[in-house]
Amino acid sequence: MSGTKKIIIGTGGILAAFGVFWLLVRRKKFIAMNNNTKLSDLYSPELVKVVDAIYRLETANYTSNIFQKTNGAGIIAISKNFPFGWLMLSGFWNANAEKAPTGIYSSQNGFDYLKFPTVLAGQQAVAEIIKTRHNQGFPASAYYSLDEEKQQEYADKLIAIDGSLANSKYL
């Protein structure tokens, strides 16, 4: 009898393990289905190139500690409360709550950075900043500074990352 119980318990353990495995596979498929949106599905190819260059520059090619902690390209929290000093993004975040910052990361360098739920959410914030600044007559390099000399230096760095940006309407 005890041998039968061991087999039943063993089989139950196998079935339980299979059940857990099945749930994890389903969860992974669900996550994949909901995270397969790319920035290129949402914005023009030219804007996507600018956002990618900014991310590569600001995150040391997606490896910096700040990127690892925030999924962002170093967007500084100007205030501690929503929209964290970014009024230009409040409408976007209110309409897309799943893209809104999830909090603030206080770094060792003394700055507070916005934390995003996903890299895509952070990239969309950068894209929205660039679009808004562009509509206000500022170049994408205004992401970095409103000083014209610094904007040109920043634009040159972005062009060095992706030469096709040399003629970009955003720079």
Percent above pLDDT 70 for the chain: 78
pLDDT digits 0-9 by tens, 41-93: 999 999 999 999 999 999 999 999 999 999 999 999 999 999 999 999 999 99
Per-chain mean pLDDT for the chain = 82
pTM, to two decimals: 0.76
Please tell me the predicted confidence (pLDDT) of residue 3.
52
Mean pLDDT of 10-29: 45
Residue 167: φ, ψ to 5°: -110, 20
Per-residue pLDDT at 27 exceeds 70:
no
Omega into 83 within 30° of 0, i.e. cis? yes
Distance separating alpha carbons of residues 168 and 171, to the nearest angstrom: 6
Mean pLDDT of 132-151: 81
Please give the full DSSP string across 85-150, using - where no structure is assigned: T-HHHHHHHHH-GGGS--EEEE-TTS-EEEE-SSHHHHHHHHHHHHHHHHHTT--GGGGT-SSHHH
Per-residue pLDDT at 134 exceeds 90:
no
| Host H or E run for residue 20 | helix 2-34
